[in-house]
Amino acid sequence: MEAVHFDNGTVIPLGGSIGNVDERALKKAQIMRTIELHFENQKNLAGKGVKVLSLFFIDEVAKYRGRNGEDGDYYVWFEECYEELRSKYPELTMGNAKDAHKGYFSEDKKSGILKDTKGDTKDDESTYDLIMQGKEKLLSFDSPVRFIFSHSALKEGWDNPNVFQICTLLEPKTEFTRRQKIGRGLRLCVNQDGERIEDNNVNQLYVVSDENFAEFAAGLQKNYEHSCNQ
């Protein structure tokens, strides 16, 4: 059963709540759960030569990086959760939290300030180019980056196959953007030799989100299953 798990042992089931829900606590719990799933998957797939990636979609760039480069809430929470969980997986040599995550955002050419965009402006092009140029490098264990933060839905051209976890720290406004976000993880993963692994037990996508998005993801899964059985 899907649920949000807190460090103190509290578990809130899908659709449930305890008193007045603290949105900040829920967001941090989503980040914690995504990292936990990431570590579990990496532990299981390291022997197959598969590097696991996780993708976070966020509502505001400032919640990751501020106007003057200061650390936002998501940035801080990620590193806190990462370091807390890493000690539970001593078999994984994944480096420190600072090197494990990276944000891909559009930048104002004049001020150099990172900004929120919809993914369809000229300023977005340089951001997507950066991701595309580093696509193969991200799949290598030589690169410490494993967690990617993005503001807008990535273009269809970015199809990195090893995204196993998608965490949505925002509420997508349309069915199209929901499909875009989930689509970033619907790929057959590859190993360090670039060989695709066609194993249903390996190619599983985890979506960590709020109730509305989770319901959509479950419905989409049923649609895919129905289409494949026809």
Question: Which comes out higher in pLDDT, residue 230 or 225?
Answer: 225
Q: How confident is the model at residue 185 (pLDDT cuts 50, 70, 90)?
A: very low
Q: How confident is the model at residue 77 (pLDDT cuts 50, 70, 90)?
A: very high
- Domains annotated on the chain, with CATH: 21-229 (3.40.50)
What is the Cα Rg of the chain in Å? 17
Return the C-alpha torsion angle 216, 222, 226, 227, nearest 10. Answer: 40
What pLDDT, on a 0 to 100 scale, did the predictor assign at position 138?
A: 84
pTM: 0.74
Is 2:214 a contact under the CB 8 Å cutoff?
A: yes
Which single residue is written with the structure tokens 């807190």? 6
Kindly report, residue by residue over 93-134, the tens digit of the pLDDT: 888 999 999 887 754 333 334 444 444 444 444 444 545 566
Strand pairing class (163-169; 53-58): parallel
Distance CA 85, CA 81 (A): 6
Distance CA 121, CA 123 (A): 5
